Amino acid sequence: MLALTEFVIDFARGIELADLRGPVAINARTKIAFRAGIGPHSENETIRLVLNELSAIKSETYGDYRLGVPYPKSPGRRCDLCLGTPPAWVWAIEAKMLRLYRDNGKLNDNMLMHILSPYPEHRSALTDCQKLIESGLRGRKAIVVYGYESAQFPTGPAIRAFELLARDLVRLSERATACFRGLMHPMHQSGVVVAWEIAEKEARLMAEM
DSSP-assigned letters across all residues of 128-176: HHHHHHTS--EEEEEEEEEEE--SSS-SHHHHHHHHHHHTTTSEE-PPE
**Residues with Cβ within 8 Å of residue 46, at least 6 apart in sequence:** 15, 18, 38, 97, 146
* Tens-digit pLDDT profile for residues 63-73: 999 999 999 99
**Of 198, 196, 159, 177, residue with least CA distance to 9:** 177
* Tens-digit pLDDT profile for residues 5-40: 999 999 999 999 999 999 999 998 999 999 999 999
* Tens-digit pLDDT profile for residues 152-209: 999 999 999 999 999 999 999 999 999 999 999 999 999 999 999 999 997 555 445 4
Confidence (pLDDT) at 203: 54
The residues pairing with 192 across neighbouring beta strands, listed in sequence order, are 147, 179
pTM of the model: 0.94
**Residues with Cβ within 8 Å of residue 41, at least 6 apart in sequence:** 23, 25, 49
Domain positions in the chain are 4-208
Helix (H) or strand (E) holding 79: strand 74-83
